[in-house]
Chains A and B, each alone.
Chain A
């Protein structure tokens, strides 16, 4: 089985600093692998540990620095890596991103069986790119996957965690799944893995390699655009501090309409 693992480098949103002009200070902002993509990667590696003949290709679209993330993926057990990088790809919305990544999969890994994505990326938090890739590839999708239960030549069975309960679904391959979270210990790189990462060539493709028109990628290929960005208004509340637990209990009783 050939797995395409879609991963994304994101800024560490827990560590954002502001400039005097109320814009996000991007310099020195640390990049991390999107946490949900780590779950996606672990789901792929778990399959590889459980079944024979599983080949995982990690794929990302981003600046050349994203190579570091791909090397890390190889060091923990991913087999190949593809970087889609081009100035023309920049500022793509989820539609253009889905189209670019979908086209890359179609043309560079046409015999893929399964695409695995994280459910969200913590920077944009749209949960749209996975389904958009699936639509471009004209394959079915399963979102909110918590665990891959089994793999059988032409299908996989997965567990979905939804608002109202848990679903077990079987999906015919090729398909795309979006992974929410699994309970796991992250795979650590072993020395062999690190050596392999150093020796594995990251295949890099640009705009010219995908056969798309300039109007189909990046900012030009994006139906949506940001008209303004601003810092959310701070709530104007004055906190009244309690000095004792009794005082606090009184406030809880009052606000919550409680007895006692």
Chain B
């Protein structure tokens, strides 16, 4: 029997397949070549009919099979039911590797699965490879991004989570639709202890702003106060940029956690990243150093942000930003 690499196909609240699935599937096909041409398959836990509805969309991921557990119990994500379904399917098919997107849902679910299966899980990997012994070599930043560690796992499946946008989805076209394999899950002994009372959706403009923005302007400790962030926002509005923040700025209460870029925040890859009053600690730069161009504004000429910047200016952002706003730059 062919070895299998299984990818968790996360279903969003609106019943879309999360983009991170396609990124992981593409990476997995590369790993599969080094693993005796293992099969790359998807695990889909969803409302009834989704696997069939999305059979066309799944073609773009180049996977072979979709294992699906579906039904009214799986209409919205809940940890207890989804973990039970995932564990049952995995115990039956025994994949070598299981990859999950490091989203809110993925980070909630993955450690439940790995602990129940008594296996290891490497979080937030930035590199995946197969080593000479055929093991998954998962590389991730640790110690606030100041150290990279390559981690191996003794048990199966070898599990890893990867954030969205770390890998790229496939560019070529596939033609062969995946085979759908339905799995029945017995939830009789699985209590559902968490009840969703209310959900308030973010405005579309707030969601994924950082993910899709071509320009990000981000502030750090040097933006000091609310007035500083208001300056950022004013300039961002003019040039059609999204506003990001460093962890320090979030801890200072100047920005929300969703705006945070870096190790405990988001990974972003815009066309242009403008860092204002951000010193450039690795825990921040790890989330933005793949931006096409980086411009740094900082009053400290020795700030490490200048080491990764393409262009920079040494000066006070509180003086520079109003002048930039006044130049009339616009989108």
Contact = CB atoms under 8 A, between A and B. Distances in A.
A228 interface: yes
B114 interface: yes
Contacts of A163: 103-104, 207-208, 258
Interface in A1-48: 11, 13-14, 16, 24, 35
B2 interface: no
Given A141-B112, A245-B324, A183 B253 contact: yes
A135 interface: yes
Contacts of A140: 79-80, 191, 193-194
Contact of A142 (B155, B194, B274, B294): B194
A165 B256 CA distance: 13
Nearest to A23: B147
Interface in A76-128: 93-95, 98-99, 120, 122-128
Contacts of B293: 255
Interface in A130-147: 130-132, 134-136, 139-144
Among B115, B199, B201, max chain A CB count under 10 A is at B115
B58 to A, nearest CB: 22
Chain B contact patch, size range: 35 or more
A169 interface: yes
Contacts of A181: 250, 257
A18 to B, nearest CB: 8
Contact of A169 (B124, B197, B241, B295): B197
B313 A242 contact: yes
Chain A interface: which size bin? 35 or more
Interface in B165-216: 191, 193-202, 207-208, 214-215
Contacts of B130: none
A99 B118 CA distance: 10
A143 B281 CA distance: 27
B76 to A, nearest CB: 10
A260 B152 contact: no
Interface string A199-241: 0000000000000000000000011111111111011010111
A107 B313 CA distance: 59
Contacts of A164: 12-13, 201-202, 207
A237 B307 contact: yes
B57 interface: no
A192 interface: no
Interface string B104-118: 100110111011101
Contacts of B274: 252
B195 A125 contact: no
A223 B120 CA distance: 5
Interface in B284-331: 286, 289, 292-297, 306-314, 320, 323-324, 327-331
**At the interface, is chain A mostly helix, strand, loop or mixed?**
mixed
A226 B152 CA distance: 6
A230 B295 CA distance: 27
A258 interface: yes
11 contacts: A168-B198, A169-B194, A223-B120, A231-B147, A232-B141, A241-B311, A242-B313, A249-B329, A252-B274, A255-B311, A259-B330
Interface of B: 12-13, 79-80, 103-104, 107-108, 110-112, 114-116, 118-124, 131, 137, 141-155, 191, 193-202, 207-208, 214-215, 239, 241, 250-251, 253, 257-258, 263-264, 271-272, 274, 281-283, 286, 289, 292-297, 306-314, 320, 323-324, 327-331
Interface of A: 11, 13-14, 16, 24, 35, 93-95, 98-99, 120, 122-132, 134-136, 139-144, 157, 161-172, 175, 180-181, 183, 222-232, 234-235, 237, 239-243, 245-249, 251-253, 255-260
